[in-house]
Amino acid sequence: MREDAQARRDGLLRLVGVRPVVMGILNVTPDSFSDGGRFQAFDAAVAHARRMVAAGCDIVDIGGESTRPGATGVPEALELDRIEAVVAALAGALAAPLSIDTYKARVARRATELGAVLVNDVGGLQRDAAMADTIADAQAAVVIVHGRSEKDETIDIIDDMRAFFDRSLAIADRAGIPRRHVILDPGIGFGKTSRQNRAAIARLRELTAYGLPLLVGVSRKSFLGSLTGDGAEGTLVGTLAANLAAAAGGAAIFRVHDVAEHVAALRVFHAVRPATPPVGPGGLIDIKTS
């Protein structure tokens, strides 16, 4: 990883625990559940990234394949075609770093070559066998996202997350990914019932035992519609409420569509209830350049 990219990676990680970190979503896809097609064109994508950074987001997360339930997977070559020009144009040109939202190692490799400093892996290092080594070689940070291939309402979802994260962290350790580069995501909406999504937020504090930053992505997710009572899962108020509940439970990073509103809400939340860095067996996480 180039020295300037290392500085961006470490600058981002140093924010964790100091204040809430906002990750802005940039889907360069035609079929994402909320904004599919809106930012697929190059100029629209670049302009939206700039707007999100101007609104206060700390990192822009670029995705070239929809991961919504029921979405059709796309070939690796098409995903690369969608993200390459956008990542190349924005890396180093924005005041905020970039992450790549992918479970494919080759896509992650190319994005980090172009300047992305974080891989947001919805496969949790378990879907593509080459992903962990790719991230380690790139010296990138990683978000390990919990997911299930199918819903099972009989399981304790936090227990399932623990087993999943234990496997993923063992994979990361074998590949040589430093723990200080690892972020955990409970994967709201990925193979979970509405009840389990609620439980994941309500019991988020239990995952802080890992001593690693927690990222939550609830923005405009469908389970929120049943909670607002009007079925309108895309409403901003539901997303804001869920993210503030997650913040109270120990979440440090928030992946959102509506950047300005979350920056303002989380600023107020932090002023009232300052965040504390995650603590592990060795004490506070130490962010160093590697």
Please tell me the predicted confidence (pLDDT) of residue 34. 53
Locate 91 and state its tokens.
């890396």
pLDDT computed for residue 230 by the predictor: 57
CA distances from 229 to 192, 220, 222, 232, 248 (A): 20, 15, 12, 8, 23
Radius of gyration of the chain (CA): 17
Residue boundaries of the structural domains of the chain: 3-274
Quick one: pLDDT at residue 281? 39
| Max CA distance (Å), the chain | 50
> What pLDDT does residue 220 have?
83
288 is catalytic: no
Q: How far is Cα 85 from Cα 83, in angstroms, rounded to an integer?
A: 6
- Sequential DSSP letters for 209-243: GG-S-BEE--TT-THHHHHHSSS-TT-HHHHHHHH
- Whether 38 sits among the annotated catalytic residues: the reply is no
Q: What's the pLDDT score for residue 276? A: 58
Question: pLDDT value at position 32?
Answer: 46
CATH of domain 3-274: 3.20.20.20
**C-alpha span between 37 and 181 (Å, rounded):** 32
Say whether 38 sits in a helix, a strand or coil.
Answer: coil
Q: In this predicted structure, what is the pLDDT of residue 235?
A: 73
Candidate list 198, 255, 267, 288, residue with the active-site label: 255
pLDDT, tens digit only, all 290 positions of the chain: 889 999 999 999 999 989 999 999 999 987 444 544 566 789 999 999 999 999 999 999 999 998 766 666 789 999 999 999 999 999 989 999 999 999 999 999 999 999 999 999 999 999 999 999 999 999 999 999 999 989 999 999 999 999 999 999 999 999 999 999 999 999 999 999 999 999 999 999 999 999 999 999 999 887 786 655 555 445 788 899 999 999 999 999 999 999 999 999 999 999 998 765 554 433 344 444 33
User: What tokens were used for 265?
Assistant: 């809400």
* The one catalytic residue among 82, 104, 192, 221: 221
The vertex-15 CA angle with 9 and 18, nearest 5°, equals 165
